[in-house]
Amino acid sequence: MTVTPIKPWRATKRDILTQLIVIFLSLVAAYLIVANTGFEGRLPLVAFFGVFSICALALISGLQRGKEAAKDSFLAGAAYVGVFALLLPVVSILWTVVSRGTAAIYSGFFTTDMSQDPFSSPLTDGGIKHALIGTLWLITIALIISVPLGILTALYLTETKGPGSGLIRFLVQAMSGIPSIVAGLFIYSALISGTGRGFSGFMGALALSILMIPTVARTAEEVLKLVPPDLREAGLALGATQWKTVALVVLPAAKSGLVTAVILGVARIAGETAPLLFTTGGADATNLNPMDDNMGTIPFYIWKALIDGSPEAASRAWAGIFILMLAVLALFGTARYLSRSRTVR
Amino acid sequence: MTIADVERPNLAPTPRALVTKPRISDQIFRGIVALGGFSSLIILGLIAAYLFFRGYSILRSEGLSFITGYEWVSSINSDGTAGSEKSVYGVGAMLIGTLVTALIALVFGVPVAVFAALYLTFFAPVRIRNFLVSVVDLMAAFPSILFGLWGLYVLMEPGMYVAELLNKYLGWIPIFAVPVPVFLRSPFIAGLVLSVMIIPIITAISREIFAQTPLDRIQAAYALGASKWAMIKNVAFPYSYSGIVGGAMLGLGRAMGETVAVFTVLNILYQANFKILLGAGGNLASHIILKFGEASEEEIKALMAAGFVLFLLTLGVNMMANLIVSRTGRRGR
């Protein structure tokens, strides 16, 4: 005969039934109030339902188990409401992007640019070829600049631990908080304004690099910290120089994590709009040369469509966001997958 | 002299200094790494230097009234040269707008984020927690123009509904009064959008801080018969209070520097608007975007100066926030 342990802290069936009834009653009460007073729509219904059910549940547990239980139940209710309020915008945003984002996408969307068509033209004309090419160029150049700098910063903080690493760590953290518009203004003031050089994709990539370096550096530092010190000591004990230990032992050991850091950096900059407004010029025609002349990008495409204001332009803006979100989601999924395989091993 | 003195002439031995120099390859390696490591210092220095240098003439001629002034008038002739009237540059009204929208964002964002973090740390099952943590990370990576579009097309309507209710029942409080019933594109709604943008940051940091509460104290509280409420109130919350403040300040920094979302949602007008439900206002960043397109050379300089002010403001808030968070974090280990 086996003895099953009792778990007195678990809610009994009777408790759960009571709670369900209370929740149902508060839904009914919320509905009645919304139906019979001046409040209209789903928003007040949800608000009343939330307040009523939290208070009613707290009241019930208060009556059953006393004041402390009522407080406890109230806190649990508030925590559930908090996480609901956190998820509501996410779901709403994703839903809006999916439901509105596909209207402007047609067979030629990726193979034409906007040089022949204004943003208010019918949705069967024009596309985002120029913006896709521009965004890919910008991301490529930003990668070339910020990946070495970001990883070197992380190496400085974890491997060589040179003078002032505390200060550098602090500054990298602060740098990840500077507004994106400041990065754009800086590139404009330093390299474009008064120099005779015009807007170009390269300038935009420089501005994006400023935003990408801290993301790469911080994530890479976390990853390098996870490499066991034994590996470094083993490398040094075998007579390798520090440079060889880092290049042949530490970096390969942290490879997937470093890729994650780079991916998160790309996700950070892919949708940045404000710095590009000061640096790229935002062309409507396809421009294959990032070093010269205005260059269109997906965020700038969305921005132009937004400023235009016509319904067709709005559909184009949502389509641009849809493409951008697909990219961000794919990047994020890859990063998640890579970091998972690291922790499993 | 006793024997002990002879055998232990120095009670606190100093570590022997390394006499061998690192090899050439290591010296080069360390040099390159140090160069990369100091890149962030160099970039931050260059940003401050260039923005200050370009905006210096305006900062000098306007003096303190650049910060406190309520007027932004750029007088230019049709050919782009400076006009006969005197141009006045003061970002006071936009600084107020920056603070107002960011504070509204905090008022809505902090409670939601803290309660969500409480749920994630102390209530959620492990699987749900891991999933929700990824959702929060993903939300932090949403581009800001997406929040702007969503705020304009989706959040505007419920936001206006709440604004009308606030005005109807709390209109006797000056900040909820409106001279004309225009609720569209108000600082209130911009603040709501900003709050959605900063919730993931504050949630992530609060969750990390809550998770650092020492387990032995949590279990001690439970062993003494505490309920979850009592444990959180007496153990977890006092422990993480300053970290949450730091997280909220990081959110404040992001909200103050936000450009595109505010520009999209808010009806940008150059005025100090304390009546948060009225559809007019702006913040420093959106003001820079608005004026940049058709600015004269002199006004560009003024915009650089405004960018410098914004840079210092957000950098200061961020540094303070990071100090607070890291101090809480260290105590947790």
The answer to whether A179 faces chain B, any CB pair under 8 Å, is yes
User: Dihedral of CA A18/A21/A27/A33: which sign?
Assistant: negative
In this prediction, residues B183-210 reach a mean pLDDT of 93
Task: Write a three-state SS string for B269-323.
Answer: CCCCCCCCCCCCECCHHHHHHHHHCCCCHHHHHHHHHHHHHHHHHHHHHHHHHHH
What distance in Å separates the CA atoms of residue B164 and residue B183, rounded to the nearest whole number? Answer: 7
pLDDT band at B33 (very low <50, low <70, confident <90, very high): very high
- The residue of chain A with its CA nearest to that of B29 is A243
Q: What is the pLDDT of residues A68-81, one digit of tens each?
A: 889 999 999 999 99
In chain A, residues with a C-beta closer than 8 Å to the C-beta of B123 are 76, 79-80
Give A143's Cβ-side CA count (13 Å radius).
15
Indicate if A152 and A293 belong to the same structural domain. yes
The answer to whether A279 faces chain B, any CB pair under 8 Å, is no
Task: Report residue B97 as tokens.
Answer: 């707008």
Q: Which of A64 and A324 is assigned the larger pLDDT?
A: A324
Q: Does the residue A210 lie in any domain?
A: yes
Q: What is the pLDDT of residues A115-151, one digit of tens each?
A: 888 888 888 888 899 999 999 999 999 999 999 999 9
- Strand, coil or helix: A282: coil
What distance in Å separates the CA atoms of residue B32 and residue A149, rounded to the nearest whole number? Answer: 10
CB contact under 8 A, B120 and A83: yes
CA nearest to A116, candidates A303, A277, A108: A108
In chain B, residues with a C-beta closer than 8 Å to the C-beta of A186 are 46-47, 50-51, 307
Exposure string of B131-143, with b = 16+ CB inside 10 Å and e = fewer, is: ebbebbbbbbbbb
What distance in Å separates the CA atoms of residue B204 and residue B193, rounded to the nearest whole number? Answer: 18
Q: Is the distance from CB of B257 to CB of A178 less than 8 angstroms? A: yes
Q: What is the mean pLDDT of chain A?
A: 89
CA nearest to B23, candidates A59, A236, A70: A236
Model pLDDT, residue A107: 86
- B315/chain A closest Cα distance in angstroms: 6
In this prediction, residues B125-149 reach a mean pLDDT of 92
CB contact under 8 A, B54 and A246: no
Q: Which of B40, B161, B260 sits opposite A171 (nearest CB)?
A: B40
- Angle among Cα B265, B270, B273 to the nearest 5 degrees reads 75
What distance in Å separates the CA atoms of residue A156 and residue B31, rounded to the nearest whole number? Answer: 10
Indicate if A84 and A179 belong to the same structural domain. no
Per-residue CA distances from A343 to A248, A339, B136, B170 (Å): 21, 6, 20, 53
**In residues, how long is chain B?**
333
In this prediction, residues A260-277 reach a mean pLDDT of 92
Q: Which of A173, A182, A271 sits opposite B311 (nearest CB)?
A: A182
Q: What is the pLDDT of residues A16-67, one digit of tens each?
A: 898 899 889 999 988 888 888 777 778 888 888 888 999 999 998 888 888 8
CA nearest to A134, candidates A338, A264, A288, A279: A288
CB pairs under 8 A between A and B: 279
Q: What is the pLDDT of residues B138-167, one digit of tens each?
A: 999 899 999 999 999 999 989 998 898 888
Long-range contacts of A112-121 (CB under 8 A, 24+ apart): A113/A284, A113/A285, A113/A286, A113/A296, A114/A284, A114/A285, A114/A296, A114/A301, A115/A284, A115/A285, A115/A286, A118/A308, A119/A304, A119/A305, A119/A308, A119/A310, A119/A312, A119/A313, A119/A316, A120/A308, A120/A310, A120/A312, A120/A313, A121/A312
B145 Cβ partners below 8 Å, 6+ apart? A271, A273, A299, A302, A303, A306, A321, B260, B261, B264
Q: Which of B46, B123, B149 sits opposite A76 (nearest CB)?
A: B123
CB contact under 8 A, B254 and A177: yes
Residue B75: exposed, middle, or buried by beta-carbon count in 10 A (0-12, 13-18, 19+)?
middle
CB contact under 8 A, B47 and A182: yes
- In 10 A of CB A160, how many CB atoms? 20
CB contact under 8 A, A302 and B112: no
Indicate if A203 and A261 belong to the same structural domain. yes
Indicate if A85 and A166 belong to the same structural domain. no
Q: Does the residue A184 lie in any domain?
A: yes
Among A residues 309-338, those touching chain B with beta carbons less than 8 Å apart:
314, 317-318, 321, 324-325, 328-329, 332, 336
Q: What is the pLDDT of residues B231-286, one digit of tens each?
A: 999 999 998 998 999 999 999 999 999 999 999 999 888 888 788 888 888 899 99
Q: What is the pLDDT of residues B114-123, one digit of tens each?
A: 999 999 999 9
What distance in Å separates the CA atoms of residue A235 and residue A247, rounded to the nearest whole number? Answer: 11
What distance in Å separates the CA atoms of residue A159 and residue A246, rounded to the nearest whole number? Answer: 8
Model pLDDT, residue B25: 87
Q: Cα torsion for A259, A203, B260, A327, to the nearest 10°? A: -30
What distance in Å separates the CA atoms of residue B239 and residue B218, rounded to the nearest whole number? Answer: 11
Per-residue CA distances from A189 to B51, B62, B293 (Å): 7, 20, 15
Q: Which of B83 and A188 is assigned the larger pLDDT?
A: A188
Q: Does the residue A250 lie in any domain?
A: yes
CB contact under 8 A, B259 and A155: no
Q: Does the residue A112 lie in any domain?
A: no
Q: What is the pLDDT of residues A143-187, one digit of tens each?
A: 999 999 999 999 999 988 878 888 999 999 999 989 999 999 999
Q: Does the residue A78 lie in any domain?
A: yes
Q: Does the residue A118 lie in any domain?
A: no
Q: Which of A90, A190, A328 sits opposite B135 (nearest CB)?
A: A90
Q: Which of A181, A271, A318 sits opposite B289 (nearest CB)?
A: A181
Q: Which of B39, B139, B315 sits opposite A178 (nearest CB)?
A: B315
In chain A, residues with a C-beta closer than 8 Å to the C-beta of B257 are 177-182
- The residue of chain A with its CA nearest to that of B28 is A243
Q: Does the residue A106 lie in any domain?
A: no
pLDDT at B7 over 80: no
Q: What is the mean pLDDT of chain B?
A: 87
pLDDT at B5 over 70: no
- The residue of chain A with its CA nearest to that of B316 is A174
Q: What is the pLDDT of residues A237-254, one digit of tens each?
A: 998 989 999 999 999 999
CB contact under 8 A, A179 and B257: yes
Indicate if A267 and A163 belong to the same structural domain. yes
**Helices A13-36/A42-65 angle, 10° precision:** 140
pLDDT band at B61 (very low <50, low <70, confident <90, very high): confident
CA nearest to A36, candidates A26, A25, A24, A45: A45
pLDDT band at B330 (very low <50, low <70, confident <90, very high): low
Indicate if A205 and A96 belong to the same structural domain. no
Model pLDDT, residue A127: 87
Domain range enclosing A137: 129-344
- B149/chain A closest Cα distance in angstroms: 8
pLDDT at B210 over 50: yes
Q: Which of A173, A189, A213 sits opposite B51 (nearest CB)?
A: A189
A41: left (phi over 0), alpha (psi -120 to 50) or beta: left
**In residues, how long is chain A?**
345
pLDDT band at B333 (very low <50, low <70, confident <90, very high): very low
The answer to whether A37 faces chain B, any CB pair under 8 Å, is no
- The residue of chain B with its CA nearest to that of A72 is B229
Indicate if A93 and A171 belong to the same structural domain. no
Name the domain boundary from A101, A121, A154: A101
**CATH (domain of A281):** 1.10.3720.10
- A1/chain B closest Cα distance in angstroms: 32
The answer to whether A152 faces chain B, any CB pair under 8 Å, is yes
Task: Report residue A280 as tokens.
Answer: 């790229």
Which ipTM value was assigned to this complex? 0.90
pLDDT at A1 over 80: no
Task: Report residue A100 as tokens.
Answer: 């509105």
In chain A, residues with a C-beta closer than 8 Å to the C-beta of B166 are none
Ordered by where they begin, the domains of chain B are 93-332 (1.10.3720.10)
Indicate if A250 and A335 belong to the same structural domain. yes
Indicate if A161 and A75 belong to the same structural domain. no
CB contact under 8 A, A75 and B118: yes
Indicate if A245 and A318 belong to the same structural domain. yes
Residue B66: exposed, middle, or buried by beta-carbon count in 10 A (0-12, 13-18, 19+)?
buried
Q: What are phi and psi of B230, to 5 degrees?
A: -65, -40
- B86/chain A closest Cα distance in angstroms: 23
pLDDT band at A344 (very low <50, low <70, confident <90, very high): very low
Model pLDDT, residue B68: 85
Straight-line distance from the first to the last Cα atom of chain B, in angstroms, rounded to the nearest whole number: 47
Q: Which of B44 and A107 is assigned the larger pLDDT?
A: B44
CB contact under 8 A, B322 and A170: yes
Most A CBs within 10 A among B25, B39, B164, B193, hence the mutation to make, goes to: B39
Indicate if A73 and A196 belong to the same structural domain. no
Task: Write a three-state SS string for B183-242.
Answer: CCCCHHHHHHHHHHHHHHHHHHHHHHHHHCCCHHHHHHHHHCCCCHHHHHHHHHHHHHHH
Q: What are phi and psi of A8, to 5 degrees?
A: -65, -15
pLDDT at B332 over 50: no
In this prediction, residues B135-139 reach a mean pLDDT of 92
Identify the H or E element spanning B88. strand B88-89
In chain A, residues with a C-beta closer than 8 Å to the C-beta of B319 are 170, 174
Q: Which of A75, A173, A321 sits opposite B232 (nearest CB)?
A: A75
Q: What is the pLDDT of residues A192-226, one digit of tens each?
A: 887 888 899 999 999 999 999 999 999 999 999 99
In chain B, residues with a C-beta closer than 8 Å to the C-beta of A75 are 118, 228-229, 232
pLDDT at A345 over 70: no
pTM of the full structure: 0.90
Give the residue carrying structure tokens 């990726």: A110
- The residue of chain A with its CA nearest to that of B264 is A306
- B145/chain A closest Cα distance in angstroms: 7
Indicate if A49 and A154 belong to the same structural domain. no
In chain A, residues with a C-beta closer than 8 Å to the C-beta of B147 are 93
pLDDT over 70, % of chain B: 92
> Per the structure, how many domains does chain A have?
2
Q: Does the residue A1 lie in any domain?
A: no
B209: left (phi over 0), alpha (psi -120 to 50) or beta: alpha
pLDDT at B1 over 60: no
